[in-house]
């Protein structure tokens, strides 16, 4: 059954959406937004959250990170360094989301669902 843990491995869906991709996106230069993913990735929902150290549970980012839609206004949702819950963003293509950092080499973890 979809979404259950057991002999078939970890859950790969949420709210009926299948997991398509996961990853970490870091941005080298503060103030220079980059796409969340480099290629067009059709989807229905994207989760983004702060990066964290899996050994210690500590936040990895030094400052807030913005996530938003590419475009002229560059309006972003701030993700604070310890916002591990993250946000679900309805989205038809994950490559239309941008990541903007206030500190070089900060970023987000993400999961794409479709």
Confidence of residue 90 (pLDDT cuts 50, 70, 90): very high
Rounded to whole angstroms, how far apart are CA atoms 13 and 88?
14
Task: Report all structural domains of the chain as residue ranges with CATH numbers, in order of start.
Answer: 24-113 (2.60.120)
Residue 102 burial (C-beta neighbours within 10 Å; 0-12, 13-18, 19+): middle
18-33 mean pLDDT: 95
Say yes or no to pLDDT of 39 above 80. Answer: yes
**pTM of the predicted structure, to 2 decimals:** 0.85
- Identify any residues that bridge with 113 across adjacent strands, giving them in sequence order: 19, 45
- 10: confidence class by pLDDT, cuts 50, 70, 90: low
Q: Closest Cα to residue 88, out of 80, 99, 77?
A: 77
Mean pLDDT on 51-63: 95
Percent of the chain with pLDDT over 70: 88
- Please choose, from the candidates 72, 94, 93, the residue with its C-alpha nearest in 3D space to the C-alpha of residue 23: 94
DSSP per residue over 6-73, as a string?
A: BTTBS--EETTEEEEEEEEEE-SSTT--EESSSS--B-SEEEEEE-B-TTT--B--SS-EEEEE-SSS
| Res. 20 pLDDT band, cuts 50 70 90 | very high
pLDDT band for 14, please (50, 70, 90 cuts). confident
């Amino acid at each position: 059954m979809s979404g259950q843990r057991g002999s078939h491995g970890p859950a790969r869906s949420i709210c009926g959406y299948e997991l398509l991709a996961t990853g970490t996106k870091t941005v080298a230069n503060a103030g220079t937004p980059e796409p969340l993913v480099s290629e067009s990735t059709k989807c229905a929902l994207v989760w983004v959250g702060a990066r964290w150290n899996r050994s210690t549970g500590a936040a990895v980012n030094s400052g807030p990170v913005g996530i938003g839609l590419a475009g002229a206004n560059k309006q972003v949702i701030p993700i604070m360094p310890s916002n591990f819950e993250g946000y679900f963003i309805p989205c038809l293509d994950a490559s239309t989301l941008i990541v903007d950092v206030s500190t070089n080499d900060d970023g987000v973890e993400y999961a794409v669902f479709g």
